[in-house]
Amino acid sequence: MTKRLILTRHAKSSWDDPLMTDHDRPLNERGRAAAADLGRWLASRGYVPGQVLCSDAVRTRETWDGIAPALVFDGAVDLKPALYHAGADVMLAVLRHAKADVVLMLGHNPGISEFAHRLVARAPLNPEFQKYPTGATLVVDFAVDSWEEVDWGLGSVDDFIVPRELVF
C-alpha cells in the first residue's frame, strides 16, 4: 500500500493592513492567482486529495479555496488550529491521524520547510526546495499501510513545484 502527501505552503499573503493579526491575513492578488494555478497543476497530474488538513489561518483556507475548484474533490476538509505555525513534529503528529490515502496538508514556514526536509529520503533537485517559498508544493509517497507508520526519511519525492514555475 502507498500513502501520498501533497504538502503545500500557503500562497502569497497580504500585508496591507498593519493592524491585522497574522492569523487573519488574507491572500493578496498574486496569492489568489497562484492558488488557482496550483489547483490546475495538481489536477493536470492527477494529484487529487481525499482529505485536506489545513491550518485554520485565513491565508491557508483561502489557498485551499483557490486550489479546490480545479479538482474533483469530495473528501473532508479538516481545519486544524494545531497546524497554525506548527513545527515539524506537530505536523507529523497531525498527519499520523489522517484517514484518506491521499492527503493535502496546508501550512506555514518555517515549520512546513523543516517538515518537508525531514520527511524525504532524498530532496528534489529544485533549489527552491531549500527555501520552500509561498505556494511551494511537494508531492511525496510513502510505502506504508497506515499514516501512523510515516516517519522521518521514509518519503519518496514524486514531484515539487513553486507557483512562479507554472505556465498556463
Encode pLDDT of 110-121 as tens digits.
Answer: 999 999 999 999
Contact 15, 139 (CB under 8 A): no
For each of the domains in the chain, give its residue range(s) and CATH number, in order of start. Answer: 23-123+138-165 (3.40.50.1240)
Encode pLDDT of 125-142 as tens digits.
Answer: 999 999 999 999 999 999
Instruction: Work out the average pLDDT over 40-69.
Output: 98
**pLDDT band of 167, cuts 50, 70, 90:** confident
pLDDT at 166 over 90: yes
Encode pLDDT of 56-79 as tens digits.
Answer: 999 999 999 999 999 999 999 999
Query: Cα separations (Å) of 112 from 1, 26, 43?
Result: 25, 19, 22
- What single DSSP character describes residue 5? E
pLDDT at 3 over 80: yes
What pTM was estimated for this model as a whole? Answer: 0.97
Spatial CA neighbour of 51 closest among 119, 8, 5: 5
Cell of 62: 483561502
